[in-house]
């Protein structure tokens, strides 16, 4: 039953929207074209921000900076009994969704999805957000320049999500 509902959900929503527009005698195709045009305009406005963000992520991943930081923090992680393999995910998750998915996939391929590291990576992915990307897209689309307060709050939320994910996984899965 749930599979049937999920299969008809989107077509049903589209049908309801079109049906309501016909009842209200609105020009559906013109409204669609207007919305598509606005979407393209927003994409063009966001393009420089996204290119800069993707370039920064590429440089960060390929520069070796993350590995340097992991090696520097590793003695503390050993004392806290936290796997250092999870740290690149913690650094990349707030920056880029695709980069963090790639790191999480590598973790799961290397350690397995049922390992404590794999489970922790999955929980971190669910408990955090691609903060910098999201802030760049939303504030860039409405031309907001002053983002320091929302950035601080969002990064604190990511840190809390990461720490909580690690603690909960250690408690629940006895690692």
Task: Tell me if 35 is assigned to some domain.
Answer: no
* Segments forming the whole domain that contains residue 72: 40-172
- Distance separating alpha carbons of residues 101 and 121, to the nearest angstrom: 10
- Distance separating alpha carbons of residues 136 and 157, to the nearest angstrom: 17
Calculate the CA dihedral of residues 141, 142, 143, 145 and round it to 10 degrees.
Answer: -110
Task: Tell me if 161 is assigned to some domain.
Answer: yes
Task: Tell me if 32 is assigned to some domain.
Answer: no
Task: Tell me if 80 is assigned to some domain.
Answer: yes
Per-residue pLDDT tens listing for the chain (175 residues): 788 888 899 999 999 988 998 999 898 889 889 999 998 988 887 788 778 877 877 787 788 888 888 889 888 888 888 888 899 899 889 988 888 888 899 999 999 999 999 999 999 999 999 888 888 888 877 778 788 888 899 999 999 999 999 999 999 987 5
What's the number of domains the chain is made of?
1
Task: Tell me if 34 is assigned to some domain.
Answer: no
Q: Do 155 and 133 meet the contact criterion of CB atoms below 8 Å apart?
A: no
* Residue 53: predicted pLDDT: 75
Task: Tell me if 2 is assigned to some domain.
Answer: no
- Distance separating alpha carbons of residues 135 and 141, to the nearest angstrom: 10
* Residue 175: predicted pLDDT: 55
∠ Cα 36 37 38 (to 5°): 90
Task: Tell me if 110 is assigned to some domain.
Answer: yes
Contacts of 60 (CB under 8 A, 6+ apart): 66, 91, 92, 95
Task: Tell me if 14 is assigned to some domain.
Answer: no
pTM above 0.85, yes or no: no
């Amino acid at each position: 039953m749930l599979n049937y509902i999920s299969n008809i959900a989107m077509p049903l929503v589209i049908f309801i929207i079109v049906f309501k527009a016909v009842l209200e005698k609105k020009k559906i195709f013109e409204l669609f074209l207007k919305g598509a045009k606005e979407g393209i305009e927003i994409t063009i406005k966001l393009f420089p921000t996204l290119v800069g963000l993707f370039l920064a992520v590429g440089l960060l991943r390929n520069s070796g900076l993350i590995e340097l930081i992991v090696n520097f923090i590793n003695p503390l992680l050993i004392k806290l009994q936290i796997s250092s393999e999870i740290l690149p995910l913690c650094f990349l998750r707030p920056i880029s969704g695709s980069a963090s998915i790639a790191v999480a996939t590598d973790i799961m391929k290397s350690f397995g999805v049922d390992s404590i590291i794999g489970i922790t990576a999955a929980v971190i992915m669910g408990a955090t957000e691609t903060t910098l990307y999201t802030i760049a897209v939303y504030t860039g689309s409405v031309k907001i320049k002053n983002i320091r307060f929302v950035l601080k709050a969002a990064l604190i939320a990511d840190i809390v999500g990461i720490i909580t994910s690690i603690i909960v996984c250690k408690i629940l899965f006895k690692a």
